[in-house]
Amino acid sequence: MNKTVLRNILIVCLIFFIFAVPQGVFAHALLEKATPAPDSQLKSSPKEIVLMFNERLEKELYSIKVFNEDGDMVSKSKTEIGKEQKYIKQALPPLPNGNYAISYSVLSADGHPVKGSYVISIGEGTVLRSDMNQLVLHKEGSESVLYSIYNSVVRALYYIVLLLATGWIIWGTLKKVDIPEIRPSYRQWAIYLQIMLLTTTIGMGFMQFIDLLDSWTPSEIWSVLTGTTIGISWFLSMLLSLLGFVLLLRFNWLDRLWVFMILAVKSMNGHAMAFDPPIRTISIDIIHLIGAAIWAGGLFYILVFWNKQREHVRRFLPMFSQVALISILVLFVTGIASTLIFLPQVHYLFYTTWGIMLLIKVVLVLFVIVIGVILRYAMKKAQEDAIGKLLKIDFSLMIIILIIVGIFTHLSPLPQNKPLVWHEQEKNIEFTTTITPKVPGTNHFMVEANSNKEGVTIKRVELFLKYQDNPDVAPIQVPFSEIKQSMDVQYMLDGQYLPFVGEWIVETRILDSEDNEHVFSQDFIVY
């Protein structure tokens, strides 16, 4: 592969990184229910905090911390996790009236750390302070742009090297490839790829440990390595990478077993672990990675020997063309299967960065198929110059696809339900409607309204929820209690008034003391 091709590939990859590197933290386990709910105004101190999540959590690195208005932690006991590993709870001592910030930290089953915080108030005369989140010690999303770039680069390089190294070893087990003329060069490249795999595996581990550990004490490191899937997966990947220098290129069956094991270990660390039963999603992921490794390793093999072993590559191309086509079909089938498992509704693809990048990947794979068809035609016509150019284009597309894979595997496939905070103001009326956490089931509903007209007070506030996906479902009213008429009013209620996922309209109706009714509506989606 000449320097010009390498330079062009690096330029394309750099441009892609600039525009595609995700900034910030992307949660995977989502908070479905909190007791007490965010923004709750409680009459007395709660006995405990209970947080329910949408997927299984790891048994290590979970916590709930409660801070008072001075920033002091008031929760002293150890956080507990439920038997099904879907909720955590924190016992509380009797708390005096005031505002409290609740900060939580968990590790989702797919190996991604998730942190968040919200505020509650205790005491009837206590005014809720939303700025209490600033007192929380865990600052979510505080990573620098430089760290985000490093994160994405390391992940992309790891996936590229992993698939090139495993694909290279797979192709080396075939008799048509193992010929005396190229054996020394093949073995040398195998060692280079193993060194790069070990290096990127170390980089991945270091990056993941930074995300997971608050302090690098031996006990915390040990708990990650032995008590979390992500730690066990990384440890086994390191072990297999090191064993590769001793075991590989001796027996074909052992080489194939090594490839299977290192790809299987990788599949333990990702989205596949978060879906039940894990054996199904992990099996699909292993098959997907094997197909990708065969395609990537074969292309790399062709480009490495294109100039010096042209005759050998000519004989290799027809076999690779057939195997690559089968591999891409396998990638399509397993990719579709995984997507259908990950997403409850296919149109969710358009609502997340994960989905958009997956669609871009699919388009690029379609380009690869087109290039493959043209390449087969050029092979029949023996157009050697065209074959060389097409192979370089194919390899460049493969690198970009692997970069995308390296990035979007860190993102959540599911769109996140974020609290609805809807503020509007007209000439005489100003209000804020809040729905937290805006998930199917129990939510906290709050409307704060005030009149800007002298002598006019708020007489009544009504809140209606209209389900757009089924016209047979009548509007659901949130039954706020009557409160004293005033210039400023606040209505709050917890309840299960969002029973379904889908598209909704929230309608806020405000009646003033002059019997003027102000009606406002806002669209939102519950995932």
Q: Looking at residue 130, what is its pLDDT?
A: 65
Q: Which CATH superfamily is domain 420-526 in?
A: Domain of unknown function DUF4426 (2.60.40.3340)
Distances (CA, A) of 343 to 25, 144, 402: 20, 30, 22
Q: Looking at residue 28, what is its pLDDT?
A: 62
Backbone CA torsion sign across 397, 399, 405, 411? negative
Which residue reads 């086994």 in tokens?
236
Q: What CA dihedral angle connects 319, 323, 324 and 325, to 10 degrees? A: 110
Q: Looking at residue 195, what is its pLDDT?
A: 97
Topology (CATH level 3) of domain 31-135: Immunoglobulin-like (2.60.40)
d(CA 141, CA 148) in angstroms, rounded, equals 10
Q: Looking at residue 175, what is its pLDDT?
A: 74
CATH top-level class for 4-24+143-408?
mainly alpha
Q: Looking at residue 139, what is its pLDDT?
A: 45
- Exposure b/e, 400-418, CB count within 10 A at least 16 = b: bbbbbbbbbbbbbbbbbbe
Please list the residue range(s) of the chain that carry CATH number 1.20.1630. Answer: 4-24+143-408
Q: Looking at residue 519, what is its pLDDT?
A: 93
527 residues of the chain, pLDDT tens digit each? 445 554 554 444 444 444 444 444 444 677 878 888 887 888 889 999 999 887 888 888 888 999 988 888 888 889 999 888 889 999 999 999 988 989 998 888 777 788 888 888 888 777 777 666 665 544 444 455 677 777 778 888 999 999 999 999 999 998 767 678 888 999 999 999 999 999 999 998 888 887 777 666 777 778 788 888 888 899 999 999 999 999 999 999 999 999 999 999 999 887 777 777 888 889 999 999 999 999 999 999 998 998 888 888 888 888 898 898 899 999 989 999 999 888 888 888 888 888 898 999 999 989 988 988 888 888 887 777 888 888 888 888 888 888 888 777 777 788 888 889 999 998 889 999 999 888 888 888 989 999 988 888 898 999 999 999 998 999 999 998 877 777 778 888 888 899 998 999 999 999 988 999 999 999 999 98
Q: Looking at residue 144, what is its pLDDT?
A: 58
d(CA 229, CA 374) in angstroms, rounded, equals 44
The 8-class DSSP code of residue 351 comes to G
Q: Looking at residue 257, what is its pLDDT?
A: 97
Distances (CA, A) of 458 to 108, 291, 423, 441: 45, 65, 17, 30
Contacts of 51 (CB under 8 A, 6+ apart): 31, 33, 34, 35, 64, 87, 88, 89, 104
Whether 294 and 265 have beta carbons less than 8 Å apart is answered as no
Contacts of 52 (CB under 8 A, 6+ apart): 31, 32, 33, 34, 86, 87
d(CA 485, CA 146) in angstroms, rounded, equals 53
Sheet holding 420-425, edge to edge: 420-425, 429-436, 441-451, 488-498
Please list the residue range(s) of the chain that carry CATH number 2.60.40.3340. Answer: 420-526
Please list the residue range(s) of the chain that carry CATH number 2.60.40.1220. Answer: 31-135
d(CA 388, CA 234) in angstroms, rounded, equals 38
d(CA 143, CA 93) in angstroms, rounded, equals 33
Residue 181 backbone phi and psi in degrees, to 5: -60, -30
